[in-house]
Amino acid sequence: MSTSGIPKTYKLFIAGKFPRSESGRITEVRSAQGEFLANASRASRKDFRNSVVAARKAAAGWAKASSYLKGQILYRIAEVLDGRSEQFVKELGARGFSQKKAEADVAEAVDLLVHYAGWTDKYQALFSSVNPVASAHFNFSVPQPSGLVGIIAPRSGSLAALVSAIAPALLGGNALVVLAAQDALSAISFAEVLVSSDVPAGVVNLLTAQRAELVPEFVKHMDVNAVLLCSDDVDERKNAEWQSAENLKRLSLHPDRALARSPYHILDFQEIKTTWHPIGV
């Protein structure tokens, strides 16, 4: 990519660190013109399991972080991303995006983050209820994060698509393991943005891997509470549904493209909890 500078080594993002795959495997990534760009790490099943451990460790703390703080962190991601937009435009360009399309994609990613930053302290009010039960009880229902969410991002390599899949689950207080496309160099660069935006270590873990190898691991893992699968592949969707049954994982199926802005995507990774308490003296 850079002829005069220092080419970057693209690695995985697990527990706030950038390790290579424990398997030692890489995938060569070339530009649309065939020029060598990088050796992307090819995450293994073990890398995935390590990511789950890291995410589980981080989940409780992130769930507990105040909505105000989560909002500021999401906004911070937007700030840092915007500051580095040139780098992302360049990376996307190398992967075949036209200059115009790349610029629009990065701008959309920034806008999405700003949009969702504003949801962190509002979706609860929208999706909560005080329930007028017939007995003398105070009764209310509120959303709580699902916990550990696997995100199988759209394949397109679009940064905005990746952000559209990550942001709703993240702002909802979940810890994430994200599977980006094998050649999604910008996804790994996005992890660098996360690191410098005060997202606590382990809250987002990001892997580049061969999809067919890791999707079954995401949906089968007993310590993953929910999965977003962006896919148009009928068999992949069906198998994921089947394999997710063992721990009754919440599986959200979405077409293989960016998710439209909607607070209902936040709700996909929330559990409604209802609390009763008697009223009396």
Partner 1 sequence: MSANDFLAGGFAPAPESSDHFTIKKNYDLYIGGKWTQAAKRFQTSNPATGEVISEVALAGTKEVNLAVKAARKAYDEVWSKMPASERGKYLFRIARLLQERAREFAVTETIDGGKPIRESRDVDVPLAAAHFFYHAGWADKLEYAFPGAKVGPLGVVAQVIPWNFPLLMAAWKIAPALACGNTVVLKPAETTPLTALKLAELFDDAGLPPGVVNIITGAGETGQALVEHPDVNKVAFTGSTAVGKAIRRSVAGTGKKFTLELGGKAANIIFEDAALNEAVEGIVNGIFFNQGHVCCAGSRLFVQESIASQVIKKLQKRMQTLIVGNPLDKNTDIGAINSAEQLQRIKSLVKAGQAEGACLWQAAGGLPRKGNWFKPTLFTDCAQSHRIVQEEIFGPVLAIQTFRTPQEALSKANNTPYGLSGGVWTDKGSKAFKMTTGLNAGVVWANTFNKFDPSSPFGGFKESGIGREGGIHGLSAYCQISH
Residues that bind partner 1 (CB under 8 A): 126-127, 129, 131-135, 137, 139, 141, 144, 225, 234, 237-239, 241-242, 244-248, 250, 260, 262-264, 271-278
Give the Cα separation of 177 and 200 in Å (integer): 14
Question: At its nearest, how many Å lie between partner 1 and the CB of residue 249?
Answer: 9
Supply the minimum distance, in Å, between the C-beta of residue 215 and partner 1. 14
CB of 228 to partner 1, least distance (A): 15
**Rounded Cα gap, residues 209 and 40, in angstroms:** 9
When the beta carbons of 75 and 127 are compared against partner 1, the nearer one is: 127
How many CA atoms are closer than 13 Å to the CA of 159, on its beta-carbon side? 35
Partnered with residue 206 across adjacent β-strands are 13, 178
Which residue, 5 or 280, has its beta carbon nearer to partner 1? 280
Considering beta carbons, is residue 45 or 237 the nearer one to partner 1? 237
Which SS3 state, helix, strand or coil, does residue 267 take? helix
- Under 8 Å between Cβ of 11 and 20: yes
Task: Give the residue with the Cβ less far from partner 1, 160 or 251.
Answer: 251
Q: Which is nearer to partner 1, 212 or 248 (CB)?
A: 248
Q: Is the dihedral of CA 56, 172, 255, 21 positive or negative?
A: negative
CB of 245 to partner 1, least distance (A): 4
- The secondary element (H helix, E strand) that includes residue 188 is helix 185-195
Alpha-carbon gap, residue 20 to 212, rounded angstroms: 20
| 35 phi/psi in degrees, rounded to 5 | -75, 140
**Cα(78)–Cα(202) distance, rounded to whole angstroms?**
19
Q: Give the nearest distance from C-beta 48 to partner 1 in angstroms.
A: 21
Give CA–CA dist 239/26, Å, rounded.
27
Rank residues 46 and 64 by Cβ distance to partner 1 and give the closer one: 64
CA distances from 270 to 58, 73, 115, 138, 265 (A): 17, 20, 19, 22, 9
Nearer Cβ to partner 1, position 66 or 144?
A: 144
Report, in Å, the least distance between residue 279 CB and partner 1: 10
Minimum distance from CB of 278 to partner 1 (Å)? 5
